[in-house]
Chains A and B, each alone.
Chain A
């Protein structure tokens, strides 16, 4: 079965410090991976997906198939980055649903 783990429930960093939100997955095939973000009392929105290899709001994430990880990184955290972050996996089988991790709350301190 597919599974996504995010070991940190809460991550606090100071403004300007680097941040890394960890995500590990278990899936026998080659998945599609996403990071979703939820700002306070707002809906979830897509931050980035691994196939696009993009950088959004300074965040990047690299898929490491050997370590089955998809960690989210930003070199210099900003206060507006404070939010809930969810890692999600979508198996590459037709009709397979998303599997979300439990989420990590990032708090960027001034």
Chain B
């Protein structure tokens, strides 16, 4: 597996509480992504980062914020968790999307978040 870890791996929280998920990589890849995985929707992009302090919104960014202060860490924060944010969250990394040839995304193990 590419050097990607996610923490925590499982979390149960209550509606209205803040939650932060961490993605850590040891590959020194420039691009990092946060997806959520839901039945019938596949993977949907929440936010992504194309470098330290450079982030942008994805398809389903409402209710989420991100930060990237170091190349190796990409944090996803739910400011006030809601039950609709119950999901499995995957982090992914990619070397350089500009080099489309032979490029792929490598995924972390996922974080299962339950919001009660």
Q: Is the interface of A mostly helix, strand, loop or mixed?
A: loop
Interface residue tally of chain B, by bracket? 20 to 34
Q: 1/0 per position for A70-110, CB-CB distance to B under 8 A?
A: 00000000000000001000101011111011110000000
Query: Do residues B107 and A43 form an inter-chain contact, with CB atoms below 8 A?
Result: yes
Is B41 among interface residues, defined by CB-CB distance under 8 A? yes
Q: Which residues of B are in contact with A by a Cβ distance under 8 Å?
A: 1, 33, 35, 40-45, 48, 50, 58, 90, 92, 97-98, 100-105, 107-110
Query: Do residues A43 and B102 form an inter-chain contact, with CB atoms below 8 A?
Result: no
Query: Do residues A102 and B42 form an inter-chain contact, with CB atoms below 8 A?
Result: yes
Query: Do residues A92 and B100 form an inter-chain contact, with CB atoms below 8 A?
Result: yes
The docked-state distance in angstroms from the alpha carbon of A45 to that of B97 is 17
Query: Do residues A102 and B40 form an inter-chain contact, with CB atoms below 8 A?
Result: yes
Query: Do residues A32 and B90 form an inter-chain contact, with CB atoms below 8 A?
Result: no
Query: Do residues B104 and A34 form an inter-chain contact, with CB atoms below 8 A?
Result: yes
In the assembled complex, which residues on chain A have CB atoms less than 8 Å from the CB atom of B40? Answer: 9, 102
